[in-house]
Amino acid sequence: MAGTNKVAVVTGASRGLGLEACRQMAAKGFHVVLAARTADSVAAGLKALGEGEGRVLDVSDDASVDAFFDWLAAAHGRLDILVNNAGRWFGETASLANADGPAMLSALSNNSVSAWRMMRRAVPLMNAAGHGRIVNVSSGLGQLSDMGGGSAAYRVSKAALNAMTIVAAHEAKGDVKVNAVCPGWVRTDMGGKGAPLGVEEGASGIVWAATLPADGPNGGFFRHGKRIEW
Ligand SMILES: NC(=O)c1ccc[n+]([C@@H]2O[C@H](COP(=O)([O-])OP(=O)(O)OC[C@H]3O[C@@H](n4cnc5c(N)ncnc54)[C@H](OP(=O)(O)O)[C@@H]3O)[C@@H](O)[C@H]2O)c1
Protein backbone atom coordinates (compact mmCIF):
# COMPACT_ATOMS: atom_id res chain seq x y z
CA MET A 1 0.00 0.00 0.00
CA ALA A 2 1.56 3.30 -1.07
CA GLY A 3 1.67 6.14 1.45
CA THR A 4 0.87 9.47 -0.22
CA ASN A 5 -1.74 11.45 1.79
CA LYS A 6 -2.70 8.36 3.76
CA VAL A 7 -3.04 8.70 7.53
CA ALA A 8 -1.23 6.23 9.80
CA VAL A 9 -1.78 6.26 13.58
CA VAL A 10 0.67 4.57 15.94
CA THR A 11 -0.13 4.23 19.66
CA GLY A 12 2.50 4.26 22.41
CA ALA A 13 4.85 5.87 19.90
CA SER A 14 7.04 8.05 22.13
CA ARG A 15 9.94 5.57 21.99
CA GLY A 16 10.94 2.03 21.07
CA LEU A 17 9.08 0.07 18.39
CA GLY A 18 6.24 2.58 18.05
CA LEU A 19 8.59 5.48 17.36
CA GLU A 20 10.54 3.41 14.83
CA ALA A 21 7.31 2.30 13.10
CA CYS A 22 6.41 6.02 12.78
CA ARG A 23 9.84 6.72 11.29
CA GLN A 24 9.59 3.90 8.74
CA MET A 25 6.05 4.82 7.66
CA ALA A 26 6.91 8.53 7.38
CA ALA A 27 9.79 7.52 5.09
CA LYS A 28 7.24 5.68 2.92
CA GLY A 29 5.19 8.89 2.56
CA PHE A 30 2.41 8.30 5.08
CA HIS A 31 1.09 11.17 7.19
CA VAL A 32 1.96 9.78 10.59
CA VAL A 33 0.07 10.62 13.78
CA LEU A 34 2.35 9.83 16.72
CA ALA A 35 0.05 9.05 19.64
CA ALA A 36 1.43 8.79 23.16
CA ARG A 37 0.08 8.71 26.70
CA THR A 38 1.04 12.20 27.93
CA ALA A 39 1.83 15.61 26.44
CA ASP A 40 5.46 15.17 27.53
CA SER A 41 5.76 11.80 25.80
CA VAL A 42 4.18 13.20 22.62
CA ALA A 43 6.74 16.04 22.67
CA ALA A 44 9.61 13.60 23.25
CA GLY A 45 8.44 11.39 20.40
CA LEU A 46 8.04 14.26 17.94
CA LYS A 47 11.47 15.60 18.87
CA ALA A 48 13.01 12.19 18.15
CA LEU A 49 10.99 11.76 14.94
CA GLY A 50 11.76 15.25 13.65
CA GLU A 51 8.51 15.43 11.64
CA GLY A 52 4.87 14.38 11.80
CA GLU A 53 1.92 15.20 14.01
CA GLY A 54 1.44 14.21 17.65
CA ARG A 55 -1.60 13.60 19.82
CA VAL A 56 -2.16 12.57 23.43
CA LEU A 57 -3.85 9.18 23.69
CA ASP A 58 -4.07 6.90 26.73
CA VAL A 59 -5.32 3.63 25.30
CA SER A 60 -6.32 2.34 28.75
CA ASP A 61 -8.95 5.08 28.99
CA ASP A 62 -12.27 4.97 27.07
CA ALA A 63 -12.73 8.74 27.16
CA SER A 64 -9.22 9.36 25.82
CA VAL A 65 -9.81 6.92 22.93
CA ASP A 66 -13.16 8.54 22.08
CA ALA A 67 -11.64 12.03 22.19
CA PHE A 68 -8.84 10.86 19.92
CA PHE A 69 -11.21 9.50 17.27
CA ASP A 70 -13.39 12.62 17.43
CA TRP A 71 -10.26 14.71 16.81
CA LEU A 72 -9.13 12.37 13.99
CA ALA A 73 -12.49 12.65 12.20
CA ALA A 74 -12.42 16.46 12.42
CA ALA A 75 -8.74 16.89 11.57
CA HIS A 76 -8.29 14.24 8.87
CA GLY A 77 -11.58 12.50 8.12
CA ARG A 78 -9.75 9.29 7.34
CA LEU A 79 -7.71 6.48 8.88
CA ASP A 80 -5.68 4.23 6.61
CA ILE A 81 -3.41 2.48 9.12
CA LEU A 82 -3.73 1.84 12.84
CA VAL A 83 -0.81 0.28 14.71
CA ASN A 84 -1.90 -0.78 18.19
CA ASN A 85 1.60 -0.77 19.63
CA ALA A 86 1.14 0.59 23.17
CA GLY A 87 1.91 -1.99 25.82
CA ARG A 88 3.47 -2.59 29.22
CA TRP A 89 5.47 -5.53 30.53
CA PHE A 90 3.67 -5.97 33.90
CA GLY A 91 6.73 -7.72 35.31
CA GLU A 92 5.38 -7.29 38.84
CA THR A 93 2.56 -9.72 38.02
CA ALA A 94 4.72 -12.63 36.98
CA SER A 95 2.99 -15.61 38.61
CA LEU A 96 -0.21 -16.87 40.19
CA ALA A 97 1.14 -15.74 43.56
CA ASN A 98 1.47 -12.04 42.74
CA ALA A 99 -0.97 -11.58 39.84
CA ASP A 100 -4.16 -10.79 41.74
CA GLY A 101 -7.48 -9.87 40.13
CA PRO A 102 -6.90 -6.10 39.93
CA ALA A 103 -3.41 -6.61 38.53
CA MET A 104 -4.67 -8.99 35.83
CA LEU A 105 -7.52 -6.62 34.96
CA SER A 106 -5.05 -3.75 34.70
CA ALA A 107 -2.89 -5.75 32.27
CA LEU A 108 -5.91 -6.70 30.19
CA SER A 109 -7.11 -3.10 30.10
CA ASN A 110 -3.71 -1.74 29.07
CA ASN A 111 -2.46 -4.43 26.67
CA SER A 112 -5.60 -6.00 25.15
CA VAL A 113 -8.83 -4.03 25.73
CA SER A 114 -6.69 -1.03 24.72
CA ALA A 115 -6.53 -2.36 21.15
CA TRP A 116 -10.19 -3.38 21.32
CA ARG A 117 -11.18 0.19 22.27
CA MET A 118 -9.24 1.44 19.25
CA MET A 119 -10.62 -1.22 16.88
CA ARG A 120 -14.23 -0.54 17.92
CA ARG A 121 -13.78 2.93 16.47
CA ALA A 122 -11.35 2.10 13.64
CA VAL A 123 -12.96 -0.94 12.00
CA PRO A 124 -16.29 0.79 11.18
CA LEU A 125 -14.39 3.79 9.76
CA MET A 126 -12.21 1.53 7.60
CA ASN A 127 -15.15 -0.66 6.52
CA ALA A 128 -17.04 2.45 5.41
CA ALA A 129 -14.00 3.65 3.45
CA GLY A 130 -13.49 0.18 1.96
CA HIS A 131 -9.84 -0.07 2.93
CA GLY A 132 -7.52 -0.03 5.93
CA ARG A 133 -4.85 -1.94 7.84
CA ILE A 134 -4.75 -2.65 11.57
CA VAL A 135 -1.70 -4.17 13.22
CA ASN A 136 -1.90 -5.39 16.79
CA VAL A 137 1.61 -5.59 18.24
CA SER A 138 1.54 -8.84 20.16
CA SER A 139 4.21 -11.24 21.39
CA GLY A 140 5.30 -14.85 21.10
CA LEU A 141 4.62 -14.96 24.86
CA GLY A 142 0.92 -14.79 23.95
CA GLN A 143 0.98 -17.87 21.72
CA LEU A 144 -1.37 -20.57 23.08
CA SER A 145 0.64 -23.07 21.04
CA ASP A 146 3.72 -22.24 23.16
CA MET A 147 2.11 -21.10 26.44
CA GLY A 148 4.14 -21.57 29.62
CA GLY A 149 4.36 -20.33 33.21
CA GLY A 150 5.69 -16.99 34.42
CA SER A 151 5.09 -13.52 32.95
CA ALA A 152 1.44 -14.28 33.78
CA ALA A 153 -0.25 -10.92 33.19
CA TYR A 154 1.75 -10.17 30.05
CA ARG A 155 1.22 -13.64 28.54
CA VAL A 156 -2.54 -13.61 29.17
CA SER A 157 -2.91 -10.02 27.93
CA LYS A 158 -1.19 -10.83 24.63
CA ALA A 159 -3.18 -14.08 24.18
CA ALA A 160 -6.36 -12.01 24.64
CA LEU A 161 -5.04 -9.46 22.13
CA ASN A 162 -4.56 -12.30 19.65
CA ALA A 163 -8.15 -13.48 20.16
CA MET A 164 -9.41 -9.91 19.66
CA THR A 165 -7.40 -9.74 16.44
CA ILE A 166 -9.27 -12.76 15.03
CA VAL A 167 -12.68 -11.42 16.11
CA ALA A 168 -12.02 -8.01 14.53
CA ALA A 169 -10.59 -9.59 11.35
CA HIS A 170 -13.89 -11.39 10.87
CA GLU A 171 -15.70 -8.04 11.04
CA ALA A 172 -13.36 -6.44 8.49
CA LYS A 173 -14.94 -5.91 5.06
CA GLY A 174 -13.58 -5.11 1.63
CA ASP A 175 -9.87 -4.25 1.62
CA VAL A 176 -9.64 -4.02 5.41
CA LYS A 177 -7.12 -6.27 7.14
CA VAL A 178 -6.51 -6.91 10.83
CA ASN A 179 -3.41 -8.86 11.78
CA ALA A 180 -1.23 -9.48 14.83
CA VAL A 181 2.55 -9.18 14.73
CA CYS A 182 5.27 -10.37 17.09
CA PRO A 183 8.23 -8.04 16.54
CA GLY A 184 10.72 -10.55 17.99
CA TRP A 185 12.87 -9.79 21.04
CA VAL A 186 13.96 -6.22 20.51
CA ARG A 187 16.36 -3.84 22.31
CA THR A 188 13.93 -1.28 23.77
CA ASP A 189 13.12 -0.12 27.31
CA MET A 190 10.86 -3.20 27.49
CA GLY A 191 13.08 -5.70 25.68
CA GLY A 192 16.29 -4.64 27.47
CA LYS A 193 19.87 -4.27 26.29
CA GLY A 194 20.44 -8.02 25.86
CA ALA A 195 17.82 -8.51 23.15
CA PRO A 196 19.20 -9.73 19.81
CA LEU A 197 17.25 -7.38 17.50
CA GLY A 198 17.43 -3.64 16.92
CA VAL A 199 14.30 -1.51 16.59
CA GLU A 200 14.70 -1.23 12.81
CA GLU A 201 14.33 -4.98 12.35
CA GLY A 202 11.55 -5.31 14.95
CA ALA A 203 9.51 -2.47 13.48
CA SER A 204 9.97 -3.64 9.90
CA GLY A 205 7.66 -6.62 10.54
CA ILE A 206 5.04 -4.23 11.94
CA VAL A 207 5.31 -1.92 8.93
CA TRP A 208 5.15 -4.94 6.59
CA ALA A 209 1.72 -5.82 8.03
CA ALA A 210 0.64 -2.16 8.02
CA THR A 211 1.34 -1.82 4.30
CA LEU A 212 0.08 -5.18 3.01
CA PRO A 213 -1.20 -5.20 -0.58
CA ALA A 214 -4.88 -5.90 -1.32
CA ASP A 215 -4.16 -9.61 -1.81
CA GLY A 216 -2.33 -9.86 1.52
CA PRO A 217 -3.55 -11.90 4.51
CA ASN A 218 -6.26 -10.97 7.02
CA GLY A 219 -6.64 -12.42 10.53
CA GLY A 220 -3.16 -13.90 10.90
CA PHE A 221 -0.21 -13.79 13.33
CA PHE A 222 3.19 -12.93 11.84
CA ARG A 223 6.82 -12.46 12.84
CA HIS A 224 9.16 -10.74 10.35
CA GLY A 225 6.56 -11.25 7.60
CA LYS A 226 6.22 -15.01 8.20
CA ARG A 227 3.05 -16.60 9.58
CA ILE A 228 3.37 -18.11 13.08
CA GLU A 229 0.97 -20.23 15.14
CA TRP A 230 -1.53 -18.63 17.51
N1 LIG B 1 10.70 -5.16 22.94
C2 LIG B 1 10.37 -6.45 22.77
O3 LIG B 1 11.24 -7.34 22.82
C4 LIG B 1 8.94 -6.82 22.48
C5 LIG B 1 8.67 -8.17 22.19
C6 LIG B 1 7.37 -8.55 21.89
C7 LIG B 1 6.37 -7.59 21.88
N8 LIG B 1 6.63 -6.30 22.19
C9 LIG B 1 5.52 -5.34 22.17
O10 LIG B 1 5.87 -4.22 21.38
C11 LIG B 1 5.14 -3.06 21.82
C12 LIG B 1 6.12 -1.90 21.98
O13 LIG B 1 7.05 -2.25 23.00
P14 LIG B 1 8.52 -1.62 23.14
O15 LIG B 1 9.46 -2.75 23.24
O16 LIG B 1 8.73 -0.54 22.15
O17 LIG B 1 8.39 -1.03 24.62
P18 LIG B 1 8.63 0.40 25.26
O19 LIG B 1 9.88 1.02 24.73
O20 LIG B 1 8.50 0.19 26.73
O21 LIG B 1 7.40 1.26 24.70
C22 LIG B 1 6.09 0.99 25.07
C23 LIG B 1 5.28 2.21 24.77
O24 LIG B 1 3.90 1.94 25.08
C25 LIG B 1 3.39 3.06 25.76
N26 LIG B 1 2.21 2.77 26.54
C27 LIG B 1 2.04 1.84 27.53
N28 LIG B 1 0.79 1.92 28.02
C29 LIG B 1 0.17 2.91 27.34
C30 LIG B 1 -1.13 3.48 27.39
N31 LIG B 1 -2.05 3.06 28.26
N32 LIG B 1 -1.45 4.47 26.52
C33 LIG B 1 -0.55 4.93 25.63
N34 LIG B 1 0.72 4.45 25.55
C35 LIG B 1 1.06 3.45 26.40
C36 LIG B 1 4.55 3.55 26.61
O37 LIG B 1 4.35 4.88 27.02
P38 LIG B 1 4.38 5.28 28.59
O39 LIG B 1 5.71 4.91 29.11
O40 LIG B 1 4.08 6.73 28.57
O41 LIG B 1 3.28 4.49 29.25
C42 LIG B 1 5.70 3.42 25.59
O43 LIG B 1 5.76 4.56 24.75
C44 LIG B 1 4.44 -3.47 23.11
O45 LIG B 1 3.08 -3.76 22.85
C46 LIG B 1 5.17 -4.74 23.52
O47 LIG B 1 4.38 -5.60 24.30
C48 LIG B 1 7.90 -5.90 22.49
Domain-located, residue 63: yes
Q: Whose CA is nearest to atom 47 of ligand 1?
A: 87
Domain-located, residue 140: yes
**Ligand 1 pocket member 132 (CB < 6 A):** no
**49 beta partners:** none
Ligand 1 atom closest to the Cα of residue 41 is 40
**Ligand 1 pocket member 87 (CB < 6 A):** yes
**Ligand 1 pocket member 220 (CB < 6 A):** no
Residue 17 CA to ligand 1 center (angstroms) comes to: 7
- Write the single-letter amino acid at 54: G
**pLDDT tens for each residue of 66-114:** 999 999 999 999 999 999 999 999 988 888 888 999 999 999 999 999 9
pLDDT at res. 96: 87
Residue 174 CA to ligand 1 center (angstroms) comes to: 30
End-to-end CA distance of the chain: 26
Active site annotation includes 188:
no
Cβ neighbors of 126 (< 8 A, separation 6 or more) are 79, 132, 134, 172, 176
Domain-located, residue 2: no
Cβ proximity of 110 and 42 under 8 Å: no
**Ligand 1 pocket member 183 (CB < 6 A):** yes
Residue 75 CA to ligand 1 center (angstroms) comes to: 26
- The CATH number of whichever domain residue 99 belongs to comes to 3.40.50.720
**Ligand 1 pocket member 37 (CB < 6 A):** yes
pLDDT at res. 51: 81
Domain-located, residue 149: yes
Domain-located, residue 190: yes
pLDDT at res. 118: 98
DSSP per-residue codes, 54-71:
EEE--TT-HHHHHHHHHH
Per-residue b/e over 155-182, b at no fewer than 16 CB within 10 Å? Answer: bbbbbbbbebbbebbeebeebbbbbbbb
Q: Report how many domains make up the chain.
A: 1
Domain-located, residue 218: yes
pLDDT at res. 146: 93
Q: Whose CA is nearest to atom 45 of ligand 1?
A: 87
The residues of the chain scoring below 70 in pLDDT are 1-4
Alpha helix positions (H), the chain: 16-27, 39-49, 62-75, 101-108, 114-129, 152-171, 199-210
Boundaries of domain holding 121: 7-227
Ligand 1 atom closest to the Cα of residue 154 is 47
Domain-located, residue 1: no
* Spatial separation of the C-alpha atoms in residues 178 and 165, rounded to whole Å: 6
**Ligand 1 pocket member 64 (CB < 6 A):** no
pLDDT at res. 91: 87
* Spatial separation of the C-alpha atoms in residues 21 and 216, rounded to whole Å: 19
Global model pTM greater than 0.85: yes
Crossing angle of helices 114-129 and 152-171, rounded to 10°: 20
Residue 12 CA to ligand 1 center (angstroms) comes to: 6
pLDDT at res. 3: 59
Q: Which of 154, 208, 221, 222 is catalytic?
A: 154
pLDDT at res. 94: 83
Q: Whose CA is nearest to atom 8 of ligand 1?
A: 139
Domain-located, residue 119: yes
